[in-house]
Structure 1
Amino acid sequence: MESTGEFTVEHFSLVRLATWFARDRLLQRLSSMHFDFRGKEKRQIFLRIKEKAQKSGQPWRDLALKHYNETFVRRELRWDYQSWIREVESSQKISPSSAEPNGPLFSLLLPTFNTDPTLLRACIDSVLAQTYPRWQLCIADDASTDSEMRECLLEYHKRDERIKVIFREQNGHISAASNSALQLAEGEYIALLDHDDTLAPHALQRVCAEIGKNPNAQLIYSDEDKIDVAGERFDPHFKPNWNPDLLLSQNYICHLTVLRRELVNQVGGFRVGTEGSQDHDLLLRCMPYLNDGNVVHIPEILYHWRAIEGSTAQSSSSKDYAAEAGLRAVGDYLQAAWSGATVEPGTAPNTYRVRWPVPNSEPLVSLLVPTRDGYDILKPCIDAILTRTDYRNFELLILDNQSRCENTLNYLREVADDPRVSVHRWDYPFNYSAINNFGATFARGEILGLINNDIEPINSDWLTEMVAHACRPEIGCVGAKLYYPNDTIQHGGVILGIGGVAGHSHKYFQRDDYGYFSRLHLVQNLSAVTGACLLLRKSVFEEVGGLDEENLAVAFNDVDLCLKVREAGYRNLWTPYAELYHHESVSRGADNTTAKRRRAQREAEYMRRRWGSLLDNDPAYNPNLTLVYEDFSLA
């Protein structure tokens, strides 16, 4: 729990572990989750702890348990970020560069209008302080009425020939002013800068270094934070890599944004009429030309967004016109690029929900539900799907794995009378992957749905929402938002690397929580989603060879499937608009025997061998965020 309150323990048991097993699990947790030992071999950790214990004269088990307990320690986020700035960011900074004559010229676009001179000076000074020298600052003043503004800009123009200034005679708002600044640009790349924000001193140098690694880069963006009137930095936004569906849900890229000037001119610069969301609109119009290969994300704080009274940084509701402009920008993009897709306001401020069309000829969906006994959870699951699903063109294949319970068998006979339902017997030891692969051979649908027998739909359009995404040719696996019965989050998508292999995003958050930068309310691309409720086209399932029944009989087979689908070139996706309850592994039970624990360990080790460093570098996450917890807190 994150605050004082009441709680209930509904079940508690103690299981005696063999000494060797307890030690192995302790070392495994240190390898997966301790900041000093993460990624190291268990034997290496064991020897290091014994050596440290010998030197300090204490029993090695006491020291090992001390380190083990450290993996459960939490810290306050605000203190955490100040500590992060001191301890982590300082190690990221690079030494000042030389002239780098072959580096690109950056044109920073700076529209101004009646800016507080103190904040304007801080902004321009942060450009003058850049360690990379090949830049020009293109300032377009939008007919400011403050005479001090003009004097300030002329002063800087005289001080440095790289600063160019144009004074507009009529106020045209930010898009027109940005276009005026764009006309001054001579650089190969443009960077967007707001008139009261500041850049990190090494911002352009880091961008230059990344362009050197990827000369075809069309878009480069960084992480950002906010800075208050006292100059204190707070609220860091550590972003994912290129995430097209998240960009349709909100402008997660925001600052720092650097674009190839040729591309910006090609799409027509800034569009008048989208003021307040002009940067988002520009990115959306560039999107047809962007992909994983030419978009570069720098996971470092290179931009400080000024949070002052009335600013968008301070309050998402301070500019209602910005939300309206963003809605128009997304709508215009969809109208140009996708027939039948529409947009409406999202459930969080300044976010958007895209409604994708289902083909007129609705595809048949084959829902695969493995089960063994478990009448008490199976019946609510099946009954809810049959009665609480608006999408009509589906079949439900119950895959019975050696049920013996008379109630269950009677129910299976009863429910099979429904023409949408069929029962198929799998008379072998439990193997989740094999059972679903078996069921897929009977599936008649174009779309497969992997559904646990402890799932209950909440909103009746859950399947329509998931089918609409699964029909998109670029999308692979589609996941849903799952809750525990007490309305806390069970699954907000899968984050690779958490706990060693993978963990569930935002686990235990409250149902209505926004999550990290509203991500619990946003459709987005993720590396993986849980197989408890997962849809994908049958052709994609077959293309990647289905689920791995040889190496992943119980755990991580869904993550492995998603990674194979991603490897094949599809984007996986999670939607918060398909909501279901999940009673999580009630039917299978806990891993509370030595045999089960050994199996779980083998499967985790196989995932580490199969996917290696990919598990520690999730492109839908950020290396500055924790791989210990599931709450997007700092690493």
Structure 2
Amino acid sequence: MTLPTPRGTAPPPQNTDTVPEHVPGGASEADRIAALEATVAGLQRRLASSGRADQAAEDQQKTIALLEAELTALRTSLSWRVTAPLRAASVRAQQANRSFESAARAVRMRGGLRSALAHYYAIFRKEGIDGIVRRGRRILASEQFEDSPEAYASWIEQHDTIDDAKRDILRARAAALPRQPLISVLVPTYNSDIAFLRAMIESVLAQVYPHWELCIADDASPHPEVVATLREYAARDSRIRITLREQNGHISEASNSALALATGEFVALLDHDDILPEHALYNVAAAINAHPRARLFYSDEDKLTPEGRRSAPYFKSDWNPELFLVQNLFSHLGVYETALMRQAGGFRKGFEGSQDHDLALRCIEIAGHDAVHHIAHVLYHWRIVPGSTAGAGTEKPYALTAGIRAVEEHLARAGVRATVGQVASDIGLLRVRYAPPSPAALVSIVIPTRDGVDLLRQCIESVFAKSTYPNFEIIVVDNGSVKPETLAYFDTLSARPNVRVIRDDRPFNFSALNNAAVALARGEFVCLLNNDIEVISPDWLEELVSIAAQPGNGAVGACLWYPNDTLQHGGVVLGLGGIAGHMHYKMRRGTFGYFGRAVAMQNLSVVTAACLVIRKSIYEEVGGLDEQFAVAFNDVDFCIRVREAGYRNVWTPHAELYHHESATRGSDMAPEKFQRFQREVRLMETRWGDSLLRDPAYNPNLSLDTSKRPFALADEPRIGQFD
């Protein structure tokens, strides 16, 4: 028998909480199976959340068993097998329809058919038909993380719309703010579309917060209508200040000219064809008051289609230093203390396309991470026009080159040895490769096991055969194995100079087994590894150790795939589905996820202990795994304690391993195990309380309900509209 997988982060159920009172007998087999699946999942969730271990709970367990038996009978029936071709044809038709809708949406996002054809023709010339097919598959896969335009429009109507009554409330709140900073909105212009330019200016004029100035620098536009429009608005409102450059200098120099006009305490960056919602600057001013030590602010954003509809909202993480290195969170809306921006030297020529990213990096070097605050509201509408990176992050190759250089120079100034590149050719996302310690630090890999020799052998032999890291030891914790073949394999392992087998016959307690082994570990770093893991990336240990070695970092987690190449662990979100759940769960390999977060190194609150690397000193500092959590939530509790001790936990997609835990594992509702699970649930809730519902790495506008798709909009955001 193999050891149970530590389940601090159980796979989320895929159905709703709604439990029908009965399954309609006259329904088709497909409908009946779907209804039964929903019923079983609903009962399981209701049982798990009730915290009960009485007769009623036992009755529910019996009901679940009966329904699962009925499901098995239906799935193995002759009629179900005979109608399989018809169901497959129906699925293909639905897929074709979805593909057509996706293609139409992709055309709109690129600013129209002509722009889309030019874009994909360029890809065809560079990468051939394979490049087109690869991108098409990714578009289809990525849409599982996007809300439909109709769903987002409904969400906006309920949670992000301002009427006259709310407008009056905001004006009163703005007038009552103790600190009412002047906010200078910087806009460089060049040959602007006049309709878009007017819309941008009107959006600033419409702000409910009155203490602003609009500083526009025109970069020698040859079209006279641009200058005429700017002069018209400057004459209309004294808060609009313009400067007309005599020579074109590109966006960095034009932005510096706009900065020279600024007299405000803070500056906000706005492009000439984008718009601000009318409450944007109020939310900024309110955040400045609520967080007086903050010197940099960034908000959530969405996009405007060519038809002017809001789409593709990006609800971001709170401040996330690792994610910011590979993705510019400040774009958009980015707000900076004016004195800080000037101290950093303003915008640097030569970084056009990533000038904002370069600026923010230099500002943070001066102000520090604690000076950054995220405003969890959509305060910027980014217009999709042909050639804009609003349509795709790869539209401007020079911007990617500048972004790589900006991060490289930032890391060099910080004394960090690392290289920077692009994650993939079809996404505007960077990858940072930290240099591992030199000489290579010893890593102690701890693997608890009980029999299951085939899995254990696969795990250990893959570590030896595939790993390129030169300095590790393996500590196998034998928790009462009895099978002769297992004991014989232990004898073989013991002959290896860097493997130790430790016997520990206590009742299974994942936390206690690991703690005992870590106490004996000789390594500077420890790697907790499940016995059902198989190495994919040869440099997996270099990746994990190099990140764990960075000052301030704590636990570092890997990217774990099921054998069918769906994602088992892409990081953990607190509160998702209850205590905690997996991000991008069961996402297909080759997909980028929600705004690239499935392929981006990032700070997270929790990573799974199925494969986790951390300095031994930090492990011991926080007291190791809490042995009250024998099976469930030990990694969740541990990572929260590491975070509370002041360290940043990190997940990387670039250390890839297979996790042979069953991708379709059923419920584990044996009475004694269920009671233990409920005790651990209650302990987590008592210890961590409401913090389980506010994971800084997951936006409060996104749902914690696992019956929805990952990163779905929350029916009820966990933040007020103007909080």
Does the TM-score normalized on the shorter chain lie above 0.5? yes
Structure 1 gap ranges (5+): 8-12, 32-40, 47-60, 66-73
Q: Does 1:543 align with 2:563?
A: no
Query: In 1, Cα distance between the equivalents of 2:484 and 2:162?
Result: 64
2:411 is equivalent to residue 334 of structure 1? yes
Shift of 1:609: 1.1
- The code of the aligned residue for 1:484 comes to Y
Contact 2:298/2:329 (8 A) holds in 1: no
Find the partner of 1:82 among 150, 153, 158: 153
- Residue 499 of structure 1: SS of its match in structure 2? coil
Within 2, Cα distance between the matches of 1:26 and 1:290? 48
Matching residue within 689, 692, 712 for 1:612: 689
Unaligned runs of 5+ in 2: 1-13, 16-29, 31-35, 57-62, 68-144, 715-723
Give how far 1:405 is off. 1.5
Q: Which residue of 1 aligns with 2:273?
A: 196
Corresponding position: 1:631 with 2:705: no
Q: Does 1:146 align with 2:223?
A: yes
Asked whether the equivalents of residues 392 and 428 of structure 2 are also in contact (C-alpha less than 8 Å), the reply is: no
Q: 1:483 to 1:305 in 2, by over 3 A?
A: same
Q: Secondary structure at the match of 1:350?
A: strand
Tell me what 1:206 maps to: 283
Amino acid at match of 1:83: S
Equivalent in 234, 240, 245 of residue 157 of structure 1: 234
Residue 396 of structure 2: which of 296, 299, 319 is its match?
Answer: 319
Q: 1:467 aligns with which of 545, 551, 562?
A: 545
- Give me the whole-angstrom Cα distance separating, in 2, the residues matched to 1:276 and 1:76: 28
**If the length of structure 2 is used for normalisation, what is the TM-score?**
0.77
Superposed CA offset, 1:142-165 (max 9, x none): 000000001100000000000000
Quick one: which amino acid aligns to residue 79 of structure 1?
Answer: E
SS for the counterpart of 2:298 is strand
Corresponding position of 1:343: 420
Instruction: Name which of 514, 519, 532 aligns with 2:597.
Output: 519
Shift of 1:589: 9.5
Aligned residues: 583
Matches of 2:647 and 2:301, distance apart in 1: 29
Partner amino acid, structure 2, of 1:524 = Q
Letter in 1 for 2:689: G
Q: Quick one: structure 1 residues 546 and 554, their matched pair in 2 at CA, closer, same or farther if it must change by over 3 Å?
A: same
Aligned partner of 1:447 in structure 2 is 525
Q: Is the 8 A contact 2:344 2:366 kept in 1?
A: no
1:278 aligns with 2:355: yes
- CA gap of 1:405–1:590, structure 2 versus 1, over 3 A, is farther
C-alpha contact 2:197 2:273 (8 A) present in aligned 1:
yes
Matched residue SS, 1:224: strand
**Equivalent in 490, 494, 497 of residue 416 of structure 1:** 494
**Could you tell me whether the CA contact under 8 Å between 1:229 and 1:308 is conserved in 2?**
yes
Which piece of structure 1 moves more, 329-338 or 425-434? 329-338
Residues 1:274 and 1:598: Cα distance change in structure 2 (over 3 Å)? same
**Which residue pairs with 2:197 in the alignment?**
120
- CA gap of 1:76–1:282, structure 2 versus 1, over 3 A, is closer
| Contact kept in structure 2, 1:77 and 1:634, CA below 8 Å | no
CA–CA separation in structure 2 for the residues paired with 1:75 and 1:579: 25
Contact preservation (8 Å) 2:555, 2:648: yes
Map of 1:26 onto structure 2: 46
Q: Which residue of structure 1 lines up, in the alignment, with residue 432 of structure 2?
A: 354
The superposition leaves residues 315-338 of structure 1 with CA deviations (integer Å, 9 ceiling, x where unpaired) of 322211111111111111111112
Classify the secondary structure of the residue corresponding to 1:138. strand
More helix by share: 2
Q: Cα 1:378–1:91, aligned 2, differ >3 Å: closer, same or farther?
A: farther
1:591: how far off? Answer: 2.1
User: Residue 345 of structure 1 aligns to which amino acid in structure 2?
Assistant: Q
Question: Equivalent residue for 1:182?
Answer: 259
C-alpha separation in 2, matches of 1:593 and 1:337: 53
Query: How has the CA–CA distance of structure 1 residues 116 and 430 changed in structure 2, closer, same or farther, with 3 Å as cutoff?
Result: same
The alpha carbon displacement at 1:441 in A equals 1.2
Could you give the per-residue CA deviations for residues 338-391 of structure 1, whole angstroms, max 9, x where no partner exists?
242221222252211111112222110000000011112111011101111100
1:229 deviates by: 1.8
Tell me if the contact between 1:454 and 1:585 (Cα under 8 Å) persists in the aligned partners: no
TM-score, normalising length from structure 1? Answer: 0.88
Q: Which residue of 2 aligns with 1:557?
A: 634
Structure 1 residues 464, 75: closer, same or farther in 2, change over 3 A? closer
CA RMSD of aligned residues (A): 2.7
Deviates more, 1:314-323 or 1:152-161: 314-323
Contact 2:525 2:613 in 1 (8 A): yes
- Greater CA drift, 355-364 or 292-301: 292-301
* Stretch deviating more after TM superposition (577-586 or 123-132): 577-586
1:204 to 1:450, Cα distance in 2 relative to 1, 3 A = same
Per the alignment, do residues 543 and 385 of structure 1 end up closer, same or farther by CA in structure 2, a change over 3 Å counting? same
Q: Contact 2:301–2:379 (CA<8 Å) still a contact in 1?
A: yes
When residues 264 and 442 of structure 1 are mapped into structure 2, their CA distance, relative to the original with a 3 A threshold, is same
Sequence identity percentage: 52
Whole-angstrom CA distance in 1 between matches of 2:446 and 2:667? 22
- The answer to whether 1:255 aligns with 2:332 is yes
Matches of 1:510 and 1:263, distance apart in 2? 43
Q: The residue matched to 1:541 in structure 2 has which SS?
A: helix
Answer yes or no: is the 8 Å Cα contact 2:146–2:312 preserved in 1: no
Deviation at 1:263, TM superposition (A): 0.7
Offset of 1:270 from its aligned partner? Answer: 0.3
Q: CA deviation at 1:78?
A: 3.0
* Structure 2 counterparts to residues 25-104 of structure 1, below 5 A: 26=46, 28-29=48-49, 77-90=148-161, 95-98=169-172, 99=175, 102-104=179-181
Within the alignment, does 1:296 sit opposite 2:316 as a pair? no
Please give the secondary structure, in 1, of the residue aligned with 2:161.
helix
1:290 Cα deviation after fit = 4.3
Aligned partners of 2:547 and 2:45: how far apart in 1? 40
| Contact 1:367–1:396, Cα closer than 8 Å, also in 2 | yes
